[in-house]
């Protein structure tokens, strides 16, 4: 990313925070959203890393799901938690697609 836009913003009288909010942030907004979504998705995928780094006293959501996955009386609870997490993961993806303005229907 070149620095010419930031320099132009400074030449036009914008301060540092104004340059960041109006020039830099819109350019990196997509990358930040993609990084957040990727980190959210990978945090549930890496159960082995979570198990080793969390320690025995910490109960995180991926560890709880993995422990209750094979208990027959807890299956409905795990299914509901998985469904809610799926919906919570779909909402930011949908919002980022709407904010980006890249809809599949507009290209067809």
pLDDT in the model for residue 105: 55
Same domain, 60 and 100: yes
pLDDT at residue number 72: 80
Same domain, 62 and 102: yes
The pLDDT, as a whole number, for residue 104 is 55
pTM: 0.53
**100 within 8 A of 30, measured Cβ to Cβ:** yes
* Measured torsion, CA atoms of residues 59, 54, 34, 86, in degrees rounded to the nearest 10: -30
Give the separation between CA 69 and CA 74, rounded to whole angstroms.
7
Note down the domain range covering 21.
1-45
User: Are residues 80 and 108 located together in one domain of the fold?
Assistant: yes
Task: Give per-10-residue mean pLDDT for the chain (108 aa).
Answer: 82 88 87 80 74 79 83 83 86 79 54
Question: How many domains does one find in the chain?
Answer: 2
């Amino acid at each position: 990313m070149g620095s010419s836009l930031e320099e132009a913003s400074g030449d036009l009288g914008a301060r540092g925070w104004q340059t960041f909010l109006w020039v830099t942030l819109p350019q990196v907004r997509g990358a930040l959203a993609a990084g957040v979504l990727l980190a959210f998705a990978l945090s549930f995928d890496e159960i082995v890393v979570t198990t080793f780094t969390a320690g025995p006293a910490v109960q995180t959501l991926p560890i709880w799901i993995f422990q209750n996955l094979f208990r027959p009386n807890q299956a409905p609870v795990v299914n509901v938690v998985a469904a809610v997490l799926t919906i919570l993961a779909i909402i930011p993806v949908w919002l980022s697609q709407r904010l980006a303005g890249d809809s599949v229907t507009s290209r067809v």
